[in-house]
Amino acid sequence: MATWTQDEAGPYQTKPYPGASWQPVGHPVRQAHEYIRNGTAKMLTLFHPRTGEVCMKGVTSASNAVLHPWLQEQCTAILHTLPAPAPRDAATQRAAWQRWQQGLSRPFTLPEELPPLRMLLVWDNLAGHCTPDMVLWLVEHGIMPLYTPLGGSWLNMAESVQRIIVRRALDGQSPDTPQQIIAAVENTANTWNREPTPFVWGGKRAARRQRSRERRHALGGSGACTQRPLRQRTGLLKKWLKSSQTTH
């Protein structure tokens, strides 16, 4: 089952953006101390952490009328690339959906008839993301929306890749129009997708697993391990050394 994350970034102003660049010695880059407020740009992002693939579209407004059609188009294209779901009975199919609602304080009501669950969509808990029309469209197409909790937007990996790509696109630049910002970010996203970098979750649970692995002790170079080191049989070693000394 595919897992994608979605987020909106911005607004980005038409102003100089500080950043490092290669310049001759004694000739630093000089940016204007004044700039014209010529509008802003925003970025719609859909990110696949497992492969590192990112879909970014620049817009001047990220309202529901702009976001929802773009997201539906992208999700439909992604579903076409996924393998056909295995046939399941209705009870098993519903259990697969309900599994992702366990522990939620405010789970939404699932329809009576559910399609096969094919994709998870992680995004922020914004009012526009919870509109009934959009949620029903996602469920009808086998997509389970998972909302990050209030104050927990950092759980969305799309925010991380947005910061990386936007910095690469705008650092040291001085765009004059929103269209220049959009072109720079979209071109950088296309370059990123040539050699995407997969993301791995590195939260507290991953840190606990790493500490647990470090506390293990390998056995004889194999894949087996123990939670505590094996006691060395020093008594036999001392007897062998003593016997070898007496024989010589």
**Using one digit for the tens of pLDDT, what is the confidence trace for 108-138?**
888 888 899 999 998 888 888 888 899 999 9
Instruction: Give the domain ranges of the chain.
Output: 2-19+28-192
Query: Which CATH code of 3.30.420.10, 3.40.50.10950, 3.30.1490.20, 1.10.3720.10 fits the domain covering 2-19+28-192?
Result: 3.30.420.10
**Using one digit for the tens of pLDDT, what is the confidence trace for 23-62?**
788 877 777 777 778 889 999 999 998 999 999 999 998 8
Write out the DSSP string of the chain. Answer: -EEEEEEEEEEEESS---------TT------S------EEEEEEEEETTTTEEEEEEES---HHHHHHHHHHHHHHHHHHSPPPPP--HHHHHHHHHHTTTT-SSPPPPPSS-PPP-EEEEE---GGGG-HHHHHHHHHTTEEEEEPPTT-GGG-HHHHHHHHHHHHHHTT---SSHHHHHHHHHHHHHHHTTS-------SHHHHHHHHHHHT-EE-TTSS-EESSPPPP-HHHHHHHHHHHHHH-
**Using one digit for the tens of pLDDT, what is the confidence trace for 195-240?**
998 887 776 666 677 777 676 766 665 567 776 666 665 665 566 6
* Single pTM value for the model: 0.75
